[in-house]
Structure 1
Amino acid sequence: MELSLDLARQVLAAQPFSVLLGTRLAAFTAGSVALELDVRDELLQQNGFLHGGVLGYAADNALTFAGGSVLGPAVLTGGFSINYLRPARGRALRAEASVVHASRRQAVCRCDLTMLDGDADAALCAVAQGTIVSTSRSAG
């Protein structure tokens, strides 16, 4: 099945948690994806930074969309790790993920999580890597 930006946006819109957070699919091509979400007070931790759980969600979802762009829409996260580099502060979060290696059954992907604050200001705040697995019967 050929995945398109429109189909990927439909998949994102079918995720109640993503809708709750207001996540947008900014870019989607074979092997890469960019998700964005606006920062609001409900997503901050006690020190005023974007909560690490929101960063983890964005990494997980971006990794899965990137893997799905080459494996097809029937995928799940097999596992991922995230490294927090600096406190996440800004007006929006951008999660850019790409496929590092893919086989018929799984894809290894990486993700950069960047906080945006104005037109030119961006700060890398976390990086993640994960394995995305196909749940399609034809894949394995």
Structure 2
Amino acid sequence: MDTSIHTESATIGDTPPASGTGQPAESATLTIEQARAVLAAQPFARHVGTEITEFAGGAATLVIDLRAEHAQQFGFVHGGVLAYLADNALTFAAGSALGPNVLTGGFTITYLRPARGERLRATAAVTDATRSQAVARCEIYCDSDGSSTLCAVAQGTTRAVDRALPTTGDPSASATS
């Protein structure tokens, strides 16, 4: 299992072309450090212990080291934790293509088998992008004792928005009506 952290910049030129044009969407460059700052501004991400380990070229990998409070009544990872991780991985992958000001437009998740183990790992990649929207796919693995089990898959749409990023982790700091 590769646990190294990749630090190269993400540029839209490394992502799939904009729909129907054969050309990439607009140029946007973000570093993994900037992606980590965005993640750190999310109180819920801090609460569940999310880390971003890869962020480049229309792709992102997020991980959560599992704790007892991530479980449901049967001892498996709660489906809400898997859905949260898919949502964030899809959006970060899209953000590496569209820029940092993005929001989830919608996503679906399919649970393949119960998740249990030491760590959840979500890998997401953009499959199509325009200047204002990206579609991405995500696979969520449960890693334990050197092996990985695919537990869920997701697909989502992310949209670029005209909104400043919050820097405080307080959602009301940048909320507008």
TM-score by length of 2: 0.75
Count of matched residue pairs:
136
Amino acid at match of 1:3: L
In the TM superposition, what whole-angstrom CA distance separates every residue of 1:16-48 from its partner, at most 9, and x where no partner exists?
000011101111102100000011110100000
RMSD: 1.0
1:102: how far off?
Answer: 0.3
Counterpart pick for 1:115 among 142, 147, 154? 142
Q: Residue in 1 aligned with 2:121?
A: 94
Task: State yes or no: 1:62 paired with 2:89.
Answer: yes
Aligned residue for 2:20?
none
Structure 1: 5+ residue runs without aligned partners?
none
Distance 1:22 1:82 in 2: 21
Picking from 127, 133, 153, the partner of 1:127 is 153
Aligned residues with identical type, % of pairs: 56
Once the 2 structures are TM-superposed, how far is the Cα of residue 57 of structure 1 from its aligned partner? 0.1
Q: Which has the higher strand share?
A: 1
Task: Output one character per residue of 1:42-82: Cα deviation in whole Å (capped at 9) or x when no partner.
Answer: 01000000000000000000000000100000000000000
Rg comparison, structure with higher value: 2
Structure 2: state its 5+ residue gaps.
Answer: 1-27, 164-177
Counterpart Cα distance in 2 of 1:50 and 1:65: 22
